[in-house]
Amino acid sequence: MSLDSLDPEIAARLKRNPDGLVAAVAQQYDTGEVLMLAWMNDEALHRTLTTGRATYWSRSRGELWVKGDTSGHVQHVKSVALDCDGDAVLVKVDQVGAACHTGDHTCFDAGALAQGVR
């Protein structure tokens, strides 16, 4: 069975932010690397669950964003899980090429932080 929109049972479990979005953590399914944090509305989650391609809501462009449609850096979806309070999903994917628009493998590669003394 393929539904035209997000399964109402799943939709009822979501706790969306005021913009109607849940956070989506993309993780490389085999290495465990956290690739990026993005956002999904109901339609993006529906497409992610039904097309096998990770799909987000681009807050900057205000449109659905099928990851890799312009860059070729597709994310093939392996699994999706909702967290305990319904406001975040963990999307395990197989990332083609770089996840980050900067060309880095992950969006966190360049951002190591350090401060003070532990």
Beta bridge mates, 43: none
Q: Which of 43, 66, 73, 80 binds its own copies (CB under 8 A)?
A: 80
Backbone angles phi, psi at 58, to 5 degrees: -80, 110
Beta bridge mates, 88: 23
Q: Does 12 bind its own copies (CB under 8 A)?
A: no
3-state secondary structure of 105: coil
Between 69 and 102, CB nearer to its own copies:
102
For residues 44 and 108, the answer to whether their CB atoms sit within 8 Å is: no
Q: Which residues bind its own copies (CB under 8 A)?
A: 1-3, 6-7, 10, 13, 23, 25, 27, 31-34, 36-37, 45-46, 49-52, 79-85, 87-90, 100-102, 104, 107-118
